[in-house]
Amino acid sequence: MIIDGMALLFRGFYATSYSGYIMKTSKGVPTNAIYGFVKYMQDAIRTFQPTHVLCCWDMGAKTFRNELFPAYKANRGEPPEELIPQFDLVKKVVDSFNIPNIGVEGYEADDCIGTIAKKYSDQLQIQILTGDRDTLQLVTEAVQPIIMKKGMSNYEVYTPEKLLEEKGLTPAQFIDLKGLMGDPSDNFPGVKGVGEKTAIKLLTQYESIAGILENLPNLSKGIRNKIETELDMLHLSRKLAEIHCEVPVEIELDKCIRNMEEEKIIAMLQELEFERLLKDGSFIEGLKVNVEPLV
């Protein structure tokens, strides 16, 4: 299981702060995002019982995508003040679970996730724990994103069949979809005036962006003009949308084997003053290995 660290941390923050109350230690250190993070992580481990676990992180705001398109993610504001000190602390927490933290400057966590998934999917079944549907482009029979839905223990596991049934698209077409329609959350526009419905219709008919461009004369005048006007942005948006699976990242697979030590976890929970989890016997129990690791 590859954990999308930022996805879990932000989800944990907003799930525990919507009322305006922020959990803090007796020393005033905010911990609400970390509390949510460890609960989500434990629940997924208990549910899916992975033999190996690692956690991938973004390493700063700027990546190669900002060099390609300076406005990339420029629409995002600063993170909440109470979340900032939890960015470093959560990695210490992950360490206490004997789970490796992985990240490479200049790349997003998704790029590390994609690279590792691609490299090791011939040895292990890979599951990606995230709330980010961008990972649907990574779907294969051996790579299955687990999309976290609202609430605890609410997951959607994607296979090629599931993606085709739900979207009518292959994983490769999912990249072209984002190239055509853009992504407001990442602040790149795609082709102005082409929404999801039109993009899916075009991809269903012509299979890919390349196929659409080969058949421009067959398109309606309005759609053809939009694409021709935004041709450069179409190609750039597709490049921005595609997860880069050639990141210079190395992992030691044997260090990812799930081997959590109860004493280390309890000591960390005590440091964070997570009394509720310490009293909950099922929390530690849910982390214990009940499958044989594959090396």
* Structure confidence by residue, pLDDT tens digits, 190-212: 999 999 999 999 999 999 999 99
Nearest to 42 by CA among 93, 115, 92, 89: 93
Assign domain 2-159+244-285 one CATH number from 3.30.499.10, 3.40.50.80, 3.40.50.1010, 3.30.1330.10: 3.40.50.1010
Which residues on adjacent β-strands are paired with residue 129? 3, 146
* Structure confidence by residue, pLDDT tens digits, 214-238: 999 999 999 999 999 999 999 999 9
Domain residue ranges of the chain, discontinuous segments joined by +: 2-159+244-285, 166-241
Nearest to 23 by CA among 231, 280, 272: 272
pLDDT value at position 291? 53
Q: Is 12 helix (H, G, I), strand (E, B) or coil?
A: helix
HSE of 129, CA atoms in CB hemisphere, 13 A: 30
Q: Place 76 in a pLDDT band, splitting at 50, 70 and 90.
A: confident
What predicted TM-score, i.e. pTM, was given to this entire model? 0.93
* Structure confidence by residue, pLDDT tens digits, 275-292: 999 898 788 888 876 655
E-state strands within 17-158: 54-56, 101-102, 126-130, 143-148, 155-157
Q: How many C-beta neighbours within 10 Å does residue 125 have?
A: 15
Give the Cα-Cα-Cα angle 111, 184, 200 (nearest 5 degrees). Answer: 85
Q: Is 27 helix (H, G, I), strand (E, B) or coil?
A: coil
Residue 204 identity: T
Whether the Cβ atoms of residue 216 and residue 110 lie closer than 8 Å to each other: no
pLDDT value at position 121? 96
CATH of domain 166-241: 1.10.150.20
Distances (CA, A) of 18 to 33, 193, 273: 12, 35, 21
171-181 and 160-167 helices cross at what angle (nearest 10)?
40
Element spanning 4, H or E: strand 2-4
pLDDT of residue 63 exceeding 90: yes
Q: Place 261 in a pLDDT band, splitting at 50, 70 and 90.
A: very high
